[in-house]
Amino acid sequence: MFFTLAGIVERLGGELVGEGGIIVQQVAALENAQADTITFLANERYLSKLKSTKAGAVIVGEDLRSALDVPHIVAANPYSYFAKVSALLNSEPDTVPGVHPSAVIDSIARIGDGVQIGPCVVIEAGAVIASNVRIGAGCFIGAGSTIAENSRLYANVTIYKGCTVGARAIIHSGAVIGADGFGIAMDEGRWLKIPQIGGVKIGDDVEIGANTTIDRGAIEDTIIEEGVKLDNQIQIAHNVRIGAHTAIAACAGIAGSSRVGRYCRIGGASGIAGHLSIADQVEISAHTLVTKSITEPGTYTGAYPFEVNRDWRRNAASLRNLGELNERVRVLEKALELRKKGK
Amino acid sequence: MFFTLAGIVERLGGELVGEGGIIVQQVAALENAQADTITFLANERYLSKLKSTKAGAVIVGEDLRSALDVPHIVAANPYSYFAKVSALLNSEPDTVPGVHPSAVIDSIARIGDGVQIGPCVVIEAGAVIASNVRIGAGCFIGAGSTIAENSRLYANVTIYKGCTVGARAIIHSGAVIGADGFGIAMDEGRWLKIPQIGGVKIGDDVEIGANTTIDRGAIEDTIIEEGVKLDNQIQIAHNVRIGAHTAIAACAGIAGSSRVGRYCRIGGASGIAGHLSIADQVEISAHTLVTKSITEPGTYTGAYPFEVNRDWRRNAASLRNLGELNERVRVLEKALELRKKGK
Amino acid sequence: MFFTLAGIVERLGGELVGEGGIIVQQVAALENAQADTITFLANERYLSKLKSTKAGAVIVGEDLRSALDVPHIVAANPYSYFAKVSALLNSEPDTVPGVHPSAVIDSIARIGDGVQIGPCVVIEAGAVIASNVRIGAGCFIGAGSTIAENSRLYANVTIYKGCTVGARAIIHSGAVIGADGFGIAMDEGRWLKIPQIGGVKIGDDVEIGANTTIDRGAIEDTIIEEGVKLDNQIQIAHNVRIGAHTAIAACAGIAGSSRVGRYCRIGGASGIAGHLSIADQVEISAHTLVTKSITEPGTYTGAYPFEVNRDWRRNAASLRNLGELNERVRVLEKALELRKKGK
C-alpha cells in the first residue's frame, strides 16, 4: 500500500507544505524513518531529532509550519492525523467470510452475512453474531449473547451467556466477559454464593485488551458505554458502569457497583473501591487507590514516591510515627506560644 | 420459576409478616424492583429508599420487623437469606450429560456418571472426572488431574497435570491451575530453572475467578483449603497455603510459601510477600502490601491516601524528607528542653 | 529415576563427603525429606532444621563442609546445584512427535522435525515451528510467527501474527503475545486507534508465566532479550525492551516504550511508568511504582508500610498535611533561631 503526500491530504485534509508527489509506504518513528516513510512530531521536545530524520515527510502542528525543510503536512492534531495516515497505509485485509468446519455452532444461533468464524469456535443456542463480525480461533460465545456488526474477537476470547457487545468492538485474546461477579454472603461459617443474574452490556466502538475481565452483574447489568478503551489485564467488577470514551490503562481494577464518568483517564494498576462515583473528565494516576467518590474533574494521585531503598527505609519508618510527630510539633508550638505570651 | 412468600418461608425458614400468597418471580435491587420481585435491606442506611420501592416483598433483619408496610420476611441474616432466595428463583438448568464429539479424551482417563463435557475439551491420560462434573468448551485437564463431583469449569480453563480439585468447585474462564512456580537459580550469569515437581490441591466448595492463576509447588503442593473464594485475576504462587473459608478480592497476589489463615478477607490488589504467615480472621485492606507475618486477627492497611495531584506533589515531596523532618523536630525539642533547664 | 551420590557428582561436579553409594530418587524440602531424597541448605538459618532431617543426603556450601554427619555434596552454589540435581531426577519424558488430527495447520505453515502439536491447535499461514517444539492443546499461532527449536508452549497460549519466539522458550497457559499495544489518539471527542504495526521479538531461553501479556509494538517491535524470566500475570506494554537475564515477579507492569536493563530483578506488582530507562542490575521492590529513569544499580523501593488499620488511619491523615507540617517545623526553627540571635 502506498500514497503520495497529495493523495493523503486529499483524503484526510490538512495542508501540504512541499512536494506533493513524494510517495510514502509506511509510518515510522522519528529516529528510524526511511525515505519512503512518513513520521510525526507532536512535541517540540523532539525537534532536534527531526533535524536528522531520514523520513520522506513529517506531520506537524501549526506551530512548526515553517520550521522544517522536509516536506510536511500541517494538521490541527498531528497525533490523530498520524493515526489516520497509519490506518490508511495499514488497512486490514478484507474479511474472508465463512465458518471453519471445526467450529461448533448451535443450530439456533443466528449468524449474519459476511461473518468469519475461525477453527474450534463454540457458539451456543440463541447467540446472535451480526454481519461482518470476525471471531478468532477458540472463542466461546455463550447462550443468548449478541455481538453487533463489524466487531472483531481475536483468538481465545470467552463471552458468557446473556452478554451484549456493540458494533465495531475489538476484543483481544484471553479477555473474559460475563463471568460471575464476586458475590458471597457468610452464613453460619460458610460462604453462600449470590447468583449473578445480571449480564454485561458493552456499547459501540469499545476496545478490550488481552486478559481483561468484565464480570456480569449481580442483579442488574455491568455496563461499558460507547467508545470506552480498556487496556490489558483490567478487572471490572459486577455492576460497574464505565462512562463513554473513558480510557483505562493496564492492570487497573474497578470494584463492584462503582460508576466512572465519561472522558476519564484511569492510570495503570490504579484501583477504584466499590460503590463510588467518579465525575466526568477525572484523571487517576497510576498505582492510585481511590477510596472516596470524586465530584470534580481534575487529576488525583496516591502513589508512594519511590526512593533508593535505604532512604525509603528511613522515611517509611518515620511514616509509621507520623501521627505522633504531628503531635510533637503541636507541643512545640504550644511551648513557644506560651513563652511568647509569658514574655 | 416463581414462589409464594409462604412457600419461600416454608423452604428457607424466617418469619413472614404480611400476605403469604404474594408471588415473586425474581430478586431485585431496592431501586428498580417490580411488583413480582423480592428485595432485601441489610442496612438501615437504605431505609429511605425502601419507602419508594415497588417490590412485592422485602427481606429484613429483626430490627426492621415493624418498620414496613410492604410484606416482608424477617431473617437473622437478611443477606444470606437473600442469597438462598435467589438460588431458589434462579436454579441452574439440569446438567445434560454427555461428551461432545469434538472433545479429545484419553482412553485411560476416567469419566464419571452424569458428566457433561463441552466441545474442544482435552482430557489427558489418567485424569479422573467425577460424577456430575461439567466442563466447558476448550478446557484442558492435564494428565493425572482429578476433578471431584459436581464441580463446574466454565469455558477455557486450564488445569495442568497432577492437580486435584475438590467437590462443588466453580472455576471461571481463563483460570490456570498448576503452571510452574517461579523458581529460578542464578548460575554463572544465567538463570537455571528449578523443576516444579509439586502439584496444586484444592479443597471442596472453592470458587476460582476468571484469569486467576494458582501455581504448582516447587517440591510439595500448593494448597487451597475448603470453602476458599477467589475473585478474578488473583495470583497464588508456589507452595502457598490458603486457609479454609478465606475470601480474596480481585487482583491480589500471594507470594511463594506464604500461609494465609482461615476466615481471612484479603482486599483487592493487595499483596502478601513470600514466606510469611498470616493468622486466622485477618483482614487486609485493598492495595496493601504485607511484608511481615501477622499473628493477631484485625484489619491491616497500607494504602497511600489519594489526593488532588497538586496536594499529593507537595506531600509526597515532603515524604522524601520525612526522616530528616523527624530529626529536625528532635533538635527543636532538645533546644527547648535545654532552654527550659537553662532558665 | 534414581542416582547414587557418586553418580550425581560425576555428572554435575561438586565434592562428595560421605558414602557415595547412597541412592536418591527425588529432591525434597528439609522438613519432610525421606531417606531416598536429597535436600539442600542454602542458608545457615535453617541449620537447626538440618539436625532432624531424614534426608539421605544434603547439598551444602563450602562453609558447612564439616558441620554435618549426613552424607553431603559440597557445591559452590548449593541452590543452583540443587536445580541441576532436580532436573536430573525429574527429566521430562521425551517428546512424542506428531500432530493431533484435530489441529488446524495452514498448508503454508512450516513444521520442523520432532514437533509435537496437541489437539485443537491452530497455526496460520506462514508460521514457522522449528524442530522439537511442543505446542499444547488449544494454542493459537498467528500468521507468519516463528517459534524456534526446543520451545514449549503449554495449553491455551495465544501468539498473534508476526511475532518471534527464541529457542528453548517456555510459555505458560493463558499467556498472550502480540496483542495490540494501547495506542489511541483523541480526535474530536472520540478515540482513534493507532494501528499497532510492530511485532514482538523474544530471545532464547525466555520463560513466560501464565496469563502474562506482551503487546506488539506501535511501529517498531517490543523486545524481550535472551534469558529473561517472567512470572505470571505480568503486563509488558508496546515497545518495551527488557534486557537479558532480567527476572520479573508476578503482576508487575511495564508501561510503553520503557527500557529495562540486564540482570534486573523487578518485584511483584511493581510498575514502571512509560518512556523510562532503567540501568542494568537494578532491583525494584514489590508494589513500587518507578516514575523516573534509574541510572545506577541498586535497590529502589516505594511501598507504603502497612500497619494496624487504626494506626494507618492516624498516620495517613497526617500524611495529607505533611507539606504543611514541614512548613510548621520551619516556622518553629525560625522562631528559635531568632530568639537565640536575640539573646
Query: Annotated catalytic residue: which of A72, A238, A245, A275?
Result: A238
Which of the residue ranges B39-53, B139-153, C157-171 would you say has the lowest mean pLDDT? B39-53
Active-site residues of C, by number, are 238
Q: Which of C105, C177, C211, C315 to mutate to test the interface with A (most CBs of A within 10 A)?
A: C315
The grid cell for C145 is 510467527
Write down the mean pLDDT value for chain C. 94
Tens-digit pLDDT profile for residues A322-334: 999 999 999 999 9
Task: Place C1 in a pLDDT band, splitting at 50, 70 and 90.
Answer: confident
- Which residue is listed with cell 514437533? C115
Mean pLDDT of A191-206: 97
Q: What is the pTM of this model?
A: 0.96
| Burial track A101-116 (b if 16+ CB lie within 10 A, e otherwise) | ebbbbeeebebeebbb
pLDDT higher than threshold 60 for residue B343:
no
CB atoms under 10 Å from CB of C243, counted, come to 22
Contact C247 B184 (CB under 8 A): yes
Contacts of B156 in chain A (CB under 8 A): 138, 140, 156, 158, 176
Contact B312 A302 (CB under 8 A): yes
Contact C291 A305 (CB under 8 A): yes
The grid cell for A249 is 490503562
Tens-digit pLDDT profile for residues B146-175: 999 999 999 999 999 999 999 999 999 999
CA–CA gap between residue A32 and residue C158 (Å, rounded): 29
Tens-digit pLDDT profile for residues B209-241: 999 999 999 999 999 999 999 999 999 999 999
CA–CA gap between residue A124 and residue B136 (Å, rounded): 11
Which of the residue ranges A61-65, A201-205, B91-95, B183-187 would you say has the lowest mean pLDDT? B91-95
Taking Cα atoms as reference points, which of B218, B176, B185 lies closest to residue B199? B218
Non-local CB neighbours of C196 within 8 Å, separated by 6+ positions: C180, C181, C183, C215, C216, C217, C218, C238
Contacts of B250 in chain A (CB under 8 A): 182, 213, 235, 237, 253, 255
**Which chains touch C (3+ CB pairs under 8 A)?**
A, B
pLDDT higher than threshold 70 for residue C342:
no
Contact A320 C305 (CB under 8 A): yes
CA Rg, chain B, in Å?
Answer: 27
Taking Cα atoms as reference points, which of A233, A243, A221, A340 lies closest to residue A294? A243
Tens-digit pLDDT profile for residues A114-123: 999 999 999 9
Of C27, C172, C307, the CB nearest to B301: C307
Tens-digit pLDDT profile for residues B248-290: 999 999 999 999 999 999 999 999 999 999 999 999 999 999 9
Task: Place A343 in a pLDDT band, splitting at 50, 70 and 90.
Answer: very low
Which of the residue ranges C41-50, C78-87, C168-177 would you say has the lowest mean pLDDT? C41-50
Sheet containing C158-159: give its strands across: C104-105, C122-123, C140-141, C158-159, C176-177, C213-214, C235-236, C253-254, C271-272, C289-290
Task: Place A41 in a pLDDT band, splitting at 50, 70 and 90.
Answer: confident
Non-local CB neighbours of C43 within 8 Å, separated by 6+ positions: none
Write down the mean pLDDT value for chain A. 94
Contact B182 C232 (CB under 8 A): yes
Q: Which of A38, A156, A339 to mutate to test the interface with C (most CBs of C within 10 A)?
A: A156
pLDDT higher than threshold 60 for residue A342:
no
Contact C315 A320 (CB under 8 A): yes
Angle at which helices C78-89 and C5-12 cross, to 10°: 110
Measured in angstroms, the CA of B236 and the nearest CA of chain A are apart by 16
pLDDT for the residue C137: 98
The grid cell for B23 is 408471588
Of C179, C191, C290, the CB nearest to A306: C290
CATH class of the domain comprising C3-89: alpha beta
pLDDT higher than threshold 70 for residue A341:
no
CA–CA gap between residue C25 and residue C86 (Å, rounded): 10
Measured in angstroms, the CA of B110 and the nearest CA of chain A are apart by 24
Percent of all residues in chain C with a pLDDT value above 90, rounded to a whole number: 87
pLDDT for the residue B30: 85
CA–CA gap between residue A240 and residue B173 (Å, rounded): 20
pLDDT higher than threshold 70 for residue B297:
yes
CA B204 → CA A191, A303, B80, B92, B227, distances in Å?
12, 39, 20, 19, 6
Tens-digit pLDDT profile for residues B5-14: 999 999 999 9
Measured in angstroms, the CA of C116 and the nearest CA of chain A are apart by 19
Task: Place B31 in a pLDDT band, splitting at 50, 70 and 90.
Answer: confident
Contact C193 A336 (CB under 8 A): no
Determine the longest span between alpha carbons in chain A, in angstroms: 96
Q: Residue B171's beta-bridge partner residues?
A: B153, B208
Percent of all residues in chain A with a pLDDT value above 70, rounded to a whole number: 98
A259: three-class secondary structure by DSSP: strand
Tens-digit pLDDT profile for residues A275-284: 999 999 999 9
- Reported ipTM: the value is 0.96
Chain C: residue nearest B299 by CA? C309
- Considering the domain delimited by C98-300, tell me its CATH architecture: 3 Solenoid (2.160)
Contacts of B155 in chain A (CB under 8 A): 122, 140, 142, 158
B275 is catalytic: no
Q: Supply φ then ψ for residue A7, to 5 degrees.
A: -65, -35
Handedness of CA B9, B14, B18, B23 (dihedral sign): negative
The grid cell for A60 is 506537524
Taking Cα atoms as reference points, which of B232, B231, B211, B208 lies closest to residue B222? B208
Mean pLDDT of B308-333: 94
CA–CA gap between residue A63 and residue B125 (Å, rounded): 68
Task: Place C343 in a pLDDT band, splitting at 50, 70 and 90.
Answer: very low
CA–CA gap between residue B233 and residue B239 (Å, rounded): 18
pLDDT higher than threshold 70 for residue A261:
yes
- Which residue is listed with cell 529457542? C167
**Which chains touch B (3+ CB pairs under 8 A)?**
A, C
Of A250, A304, A333, the CB nearest to C332: A333
Contact B289 C306 (CB under 8 A): yes
Q: Which residue has the higher pLDDT, C133 or C53?
A: C133
Contacts of B262 in chain A (CB under 8 A): none
Handedness of CA B19, B22, B24, B30 (dihedral sign): negative
Of A79, A102, A317, the CB nearest to C185: A79
pLDDT for the residue C168: 98
Contact A227 C187 (CB under 8 A): no
Tens-digit pLDDT profile for residues C215-270: 999 999 999 999 999 999 999 999 999 999 999 999 999 999 999 999 999 999 99
Percent of all residues in chain A with a pLDDT value above 90, rounded to a whole number: 87
Tens-digit pLDDT profile for residues B308-318: 999 999 999 99
pLDDT for the residue A45: 76
Taking Cα atoms as reference points, which of C231, C105, C207, C86 lies closest to residue C154? C207
Task: Place A172 in a pLDDT band, splitting at 50, 70 and 90.
Answer: very high
Contacts of A176 in chain B (CB under 8 A): 156, 172-174, 210-211, 232
Of C90, C232, C233, the CB nearest to B197: C90
Contact A312 C301 (CB under 8 A): yes
Mean pLDDT of C55-83: 90
pLDDT for the residue B140: 98
Q: Which of A122, A139, A330 to mutate to test the interface with B (most CBs of B within 10 A)?
A: A122
Contacts of A251 in chain B (CB under 8 A): 251
